């Protein structure tokens, strides 16, 4: 299951990050208004909203693989997995709040 | 642990092939990006919060230590991207022969560095 999640998320991440890299290289937002205008375009908003859980799922499976390989003490492994899970959730929700606030015109 | 598996530990003759280098760099670049996730979320939120927040985030990103970290992260993203495409192709059974696998490994390493140079020059011009 983790194997297929990692590959399915990789395809979306590869495409979306390719778009982000090209967009921010060719047309980086000059100020807050430009950034907000970009984020609130419907396609960009939708792309970003999907990007957050997909990225965090990919990051979670990846860091889980690394911790399973290198951290053999069960307690330390569980503690680190919990720490990363909470940090990912907080980061994702914080970014989500920014996208929603921008969409509401805040 | 008892084992009958052959053990080869002649350090002068052990050499990590390009495929192994791509593999460990894929792992290192992934961990670096994972560690950057909270900071990225905070900066994204700050830049979207208003003109003052945008200026603060831009100012933070413009400092030299941060730009160096961004350069490392940009390399990490590019390497992870190219190596990831290579792994997806390998999963599809493309390029599994040893010579092809080593060739594509070098291609991933070099492509990431080449695009990084293009990005760095581009950003150096705009900043």
Q: State the pLDDT at residue A106.
A: 57
Interface pTM, i.e. ipTM? 0.95
Give pLDDT tens digits for B107-126: 999 999 999 999 988 876 55
CB contacts under 8 A, B 18-57 vs A, are: 27, 30-31, 33-34, 37-38, 40-42, 44-45, 47-51, 53-55
3 state DSSP class of B3? coil
pTM here? Answer: 0.92
The pLDDT tens digits for A85-98 are 999 999 999 999 99
Most A CBs within 10 A among B24, B26, B32, B37, hence the mutation to make, goes to B37
In order of A42, A67, A87, the CA distances from A4 in angstroms are 29, 19, 24
Reading the block at residue B98, the tokens are 């040893």
**Please, how many CA atoms are within 13 Å of residue A12, restricted to the half-sphere of its CB?**
18
> What values do phi and psi take at B59, rounded to 5?
-65, -40
CB contact under 8 A, B40 and A91: yes
List chain B domain ranges: 18-32+63-126
Spatial distance between the Cα atoms of A47 and B105, rounded to a whole number of angstroms: 30
The CATH code that applies to domain A2-104 is: 1.20.1300.10
Residue numbers in B near A33 (CB within 8 A): 51
A92 interaction partners in chain B (CB closer than 8 Å): 41
């Amino acid at each position: 299951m983790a194997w297929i999640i990692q590959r399915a998320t990789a395809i979306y991440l590869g495409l979306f990050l390719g778009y982000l890299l090209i967009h921010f290289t060719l047309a980086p937002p000059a100020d807050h208004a430009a950034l907000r205008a970009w984020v609130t375009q419907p396609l960009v908003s939708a792309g970003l909203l999907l990007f957050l859980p997909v990225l965090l799922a990919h990051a979670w499976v990846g860091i889980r693989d690394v911790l399973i390989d290198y951290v053999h003490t069960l307690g330390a492994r569980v503690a680190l997995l919990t720490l990363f899970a909470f940090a990912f959730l907080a980061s994702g929700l914080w970014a989500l709040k920014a996208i929603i606030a921008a969409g509401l015109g805040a | 642990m008892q084992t009958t598996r052959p053990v080869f530990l002649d350090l002068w003759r052990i050499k990590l092939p390009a495929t192994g280098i791509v593999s460990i760099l894929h792992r290192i670049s992934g961990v670096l990006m994972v560690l950057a996730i909270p900071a990225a979320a905070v900066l994204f939120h700050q830049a979207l919060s208003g003109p003052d927040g945008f200026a603060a985030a831009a100012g933070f990103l413009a400092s030299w230590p941060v730009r160096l970290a961004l350069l490392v992260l940009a390399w990490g993203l590019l390497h992870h991207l190219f190596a990831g495409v290579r792994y997806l192709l390998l999963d599809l059974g493309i390029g599994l022969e040893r010579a092809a696998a080593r060739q594509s490994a070098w291609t991933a390493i070099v492509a990431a560095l080449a695009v990084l140079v293009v990005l760095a020059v581009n950003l150096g011009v705009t900043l």
